[in-house]
Structures are given as C-alpha cells and as structure tokens.
Amino acid sequence: MTEPLIFELSRPGREGIQLPDNDVPAKAVNELLPADMLRQQELQLPETSELDTVRHFTRLSRMNYGVDVGFYPLGSCTMKYNPKICEDAANLPGFTRLHPYQPEETVQGALELMYQTQNYLAEITGMDAMSLQPAAGAHGELTGLLIIKAYLKSKGEKRNKVIVPDSAHGTNPATATLAGFDVVTVKSDLRGNVDVEALREEVDGNTAALMLTNPNTLGLFEENIVQIAEIVHDAGGLLYYDGANMNAIMGITSPGDMGFDVVHLNLHKTFSTPHGGGGPGSGPVGVKAELEPFLPKPLVIRDKEFYKLYYDLPLSIGKMRSFYASFGVVVKAYTYLISQGVVGLKSVSEHAVLNANYLMRRLAGHLNIPFDRTCMHEFVCNPRGLKENGVRTLDLAKRMLDYGYHPPTIYFPLIVEEVMMMEPTETENKETLDEFADNVVKILQEAVEDPEKVKAAPHDTPVGRLDEVTAARNPVLRYSKK
C-alpha cells in the first residue's frame, strides 16, 4: 500500500482555498516592484481540492505509528501517553493567537504561565534558575555548554576539555564540539557505571565539564555519582546533566541534589508533550545560582503582580533562538505539571521504574540482560544464540512490527553488542507488558524455528524493508515532474 505524492494528485486549475477579494485599491504589481525582482516561472506547488488534500494526509497518517496506536517501548525516548487536555490547552486562541512582540500588559497570562513553568522545572530539578528558550534537547545541551564556556571565561579560565561517557547519546559529543571544546571519552565499568578510576585519570585542570545522564543510557543509576561530582568539582570542572532520563527520578532525587551545575530537560519526554513525528520539542535549561547571570535572554520575572520579560543580563550568552520559547510546547508541559503535582510526578517515576523492572524480569529468561541490577525506567538486553541462524537484533525489531508494536531502540548505546533498549513508561498497564513479553518470546522462538520469516520481516506493514543503500548512494530528495 503506497500513497501518491501530493504533487501527483495535482490537476491544473483545481483550488483548495478561496480567499476574500482584495478590498483596497490595487495597483499593477510591476508599479510596486521592479520587474527584475518578480518571479519569472510559475510555482510548481500542487493544485488540489480541500478534500483531495484532507484525504491524502489522512491516508498518510494511517501509514504512521504513534503512541495512540500502540505500545512504543522506544528506549531513551520516553514514549508515554500524551494527555489530550494538554493539546486542548495549547490550542486555546488565548495562547495561539498572540504575537511575540505584543505589549506585556496584553500577554500577562502567557508570561505568568512561563514564569510558573520556570519555577516548577527549577523545583523538580533542584536548580536555582531556568530558561525555557531552547527548542529541543540538543539545543538545550548547546545552551548549557555555552553557559559553562561563558562562566569559565568570566573567571579567566581556559579549560577546553569536555568528558563524556562511552555510553553517551551522540548529541553530547557533537554538542561539545560545536561549543568549541575537545571531547574525551571515558569508559564504563563492568557494572555499567562510569569507570571512576578512568575518570580520575582523565579529569585535570583543563577539564571544563563532564556531561552525564543519570540514570545513564544503559538504564542504570550511576551509583558513584557523589564521588564523580567530587572528582570533577575538586578539579574546578562543572557537571552537566542531560535530562533525557529524568522520567526515572522525579521527586526521588534531582540533578541539583546529585551535584549537577547545569541541566537540560526534554519536555517532549518527561513532561509528556508529544514528539510530533520528530518535533517540535522543548529543552529548558536550569542552572545553579552562580551560573544564572549567563542564561540566555530574556527571562520571565515577576515584579509585584506584573510579569515581565527581563533583558538586563550583561553576562548572558545571548540568544539561542528568536523570541522566548517553544511556547505552545511549554503550555502542554505546564498543563501536565499541574495535573500531576509533585505527588503525581513522584508516582510517575516510581511506576516507570516498576514497569521497566517488571518487563525486564518477564524477559530475563529469554534475552540476555548484560547488567544484573535493578534497572531504572529502561533497560538494555540482547538476544543470545541467534547468530548461527543469522538473525540479528534488527530482524527481531522488524518482526515486532508485524505484531503491532513499535520496536525498542536498537544498536544504542554503542557499547553493548546487538543491543535493544526498552522503556515501557508508566502509562502502560500490566496486560500490555505481559502480552508484549509473550510476543517477544514467540518471536525468539520463530527466530530459531523459522529464521527466514523473521529475517524477511516485516510482512504486514504498508511497505516492506526499504533499500537504504540506494537512497544514500543516489539521493532523491525532492519531487521532480516526470
């Protein structure tokens, strides 16, 4: 089942919208603009009716899989249910129909909501101040590292080393490079923690920061976090917290309590704003008091009962984007925060961890669990004894599609061979987990009994396995009229 491109549905002269007539006296366009600045060729946009358009995109939506369709245990992505009330809130005209440069007295509600969200996120992370500006997680990372760079510079220090664990997400080293630092990798130990001795070797007077996710990307809590923080701080470095895995610890511990100096959150993970097929996200950054003057401009402040945009930050790194925040995403997160309250958030983390441990226990006899520990909100595992059948993790993942699941994250983190990373989240019930575990066991059996079937999977999706090699060798990146 495939769908034509919208361009292929186009028929000359067909229209999808009627606009009101121009109601001001018109002049000829070439009186208003010089001839050499006018577009010469007609735009090749599709000409389709409203119904053609609606059907086309509705059909495309049916070729797509979201959390509302089924179980989505995609590790490190926190694919929890996105409450509908959050969507309704963000779509209120009182929020969507605001121009960012409107006078402050006409946007007091928007500013209040941002102010409160800054505070709530600071509370839950144990930070002193928060900026809502970054547009996504990686954008938050860059903001955070530029803050660290500006802070060190203000102290007259030239430190250019950023340390990341070998289990880190690719954005960490990429961000550190973009921020102008040299990246050094530190290895993990046999329990899946940062190797403290290796870290001690690496940390020195040139160390600007250690970037860490805790729980880490193996789904394990860095047990030596206090010691790690001490090692880095004693050498004059800072600790950066990648909030990708915040869903495991809310109300139980916080980056602030663990000793982190700078934090980014992913509102599209922990705070339940939908992922939108790859965005928009939102990646607020929090800091300890000493780093507050370096946050991007503006912050939202309260002056008596009046909310304001505050620009008077002479040491600020500047701006990371236009305007103030992915405001619509912030509205959803705010709605989620007050729906949960602190009691609810703690329960979210407890149940996220409960679900992950339960699923891990259900699968433990069937898949290899490389780290025999209590996991946090996610865990890693890999198949055993399938190599002789030529069945790889990729094949198992593709076969899960036939069973109606979105597969877990595969081949990440890089340090575990043929890895699968499963994150069930707190919003899934026990039946879903039991059924998933049973089906994984079934797929593992198939891999032994009928490996060809698994290797040829998926069989029941709109398209089969796609040829990524041809796509990359001879890139076709846009429609061209045949």
Partner 1 sequence: MKFIPHTSEEQRQMMNELEIKKLEELFQELPDEIKINKDINIPGPLSELEVARQLKKIAEKNKTVDQLTSFLGAGAYDHYIPSAVQHILSRSEFYTAYTPYQPEVSQGVLQSIFEFQSMICELTGMDVANASMYDGASATAEAALMASAATRRTKVLISKAVHPEYRQVLLTYAGGPELQVEEIDYNQGCTEIEKLKQSMDKDVAAVIIQQPNFFGSLEDLKAFADVVHEHKALMVTCADPVSLALITSPGSCGADIVVGEGQGLGIPMAYGGPHLGYMACTKKLMRRMPGRIVGETVDNKGQRGFVLTLQAREQHIRREKATSNICSNQALCALAATVHLSLMGPKGLRQVAEQCLQKAHYTYEQIINLLGYQPVWSVPFFKEFVVKVPQSPAEINNRLLEKGIIGGLDLGRYYPELEDHMLFCVTETRTREEIDRLVALLGGDVK
Partner 2 sequence: MSNIPEGLKYSKEHEWIRLEGNKATIGITDYAQDSLGDIVFVELPNIDDEFESDDVLGVVESVKAASDIYIPLSGKIVEINEELVDSPETINEDPYEKGWIVAIELSDTSQLADLLSKEDYEAFLEENA
Q: Which of residues 364-393 bind partner 1 (CB under 8 A)?
A: 373-374
> Which of 18, 468, 478, 480 contacts partner 2 by CB under 8 A?
468
Asked whether the beta carbons of 67 and 80 are under 8 A apart, the reply is yes
Asked whether the beta carbons of 199 and 227 are under 8 A apart, the reply is no
> Which of 127, 148, 152, 179 contacts partner 1 by CB under 8 A?
179
Binding mask 314-333 for partner 1 (x = CB under 8 A): ---xxxxxxxxxxxxx-x--
- Asked if 466 touches partner 2 (CB under 8 A), the answer is no
- Asked if 102 touches partner 1 (CB under 8 A), the answer is yes
Partner whose footprint covers residue 296, from partner 2, partner 1, none (CB < 5 to 8 Å by kind)? partner 1
Provide the 8-state DSSP code for 425.
-
Q: Of 374 and 445, which has the nearer Cβ to partner 1?
A: 374
Q: How far apart are CA 302 and CA 115, in angstroms?
A: 8
CB 347, min distance to partner 1, A: 6
Q: Which of residues 281-320 bind partner 1 (CB under 8 A)?
A: 281-282, 296, 317-320
- Asked if 473 touches partner 2 (CB under 8 A), the answer is yes
Q: How far apart are CA 130 and CA 149, in angstroms?
A: 18
Q: Of 339 and 439, which has the nearer Cβ to partner 1?
A: 339
Asked whether the beta carbons of 144 and 295 are under 8 A apart, the reply is no
- Asked if 472 touches partner 2 (CB under 8 A), the answer is yes
Q: Which of 214, 194, 193, 190 lies closest to 202 in space, CA to CA?
A: 194
Q: Which of residues 332-351 bind partner 2 (CB under 8 A)?
A: none
Binding mask 422-461 for partner 1 (x = CB under 8 A): ----xxxxx-------------------------x-x--x
Amino acid 177 reads T
Q: CA triplet 235, 238, 239: central angle to 5 degrees?
A: 120
CB 185, min distance to partner 2, A: 16
Q: How far apart are CA 119 and CA 474, in angstroms?
A: 50
Q: Of 350 and 435, which has the nearer Cβ to partner 1?
A: 350
Q: How far apart are CA 264 and CA 153, in angstroms?
A: 21
Three-state DSSP state, 42: coil
Q: Which of residues 263-282 bind partner 2 (CB under 8 A)?
A: none
Binding mask 405-434 for partner 2 (x = CB under 8 A): ------x-----------------------
DSSP string computed for 143-204: HHHHHHHHHHHHTT----EEEEETT--THHHHHHHHTTPEEEEE-B-TTSSB-HHHHHHH--
| Binding interface with partner 2 (CB under 8 A) | 411, 468-469, 472-473
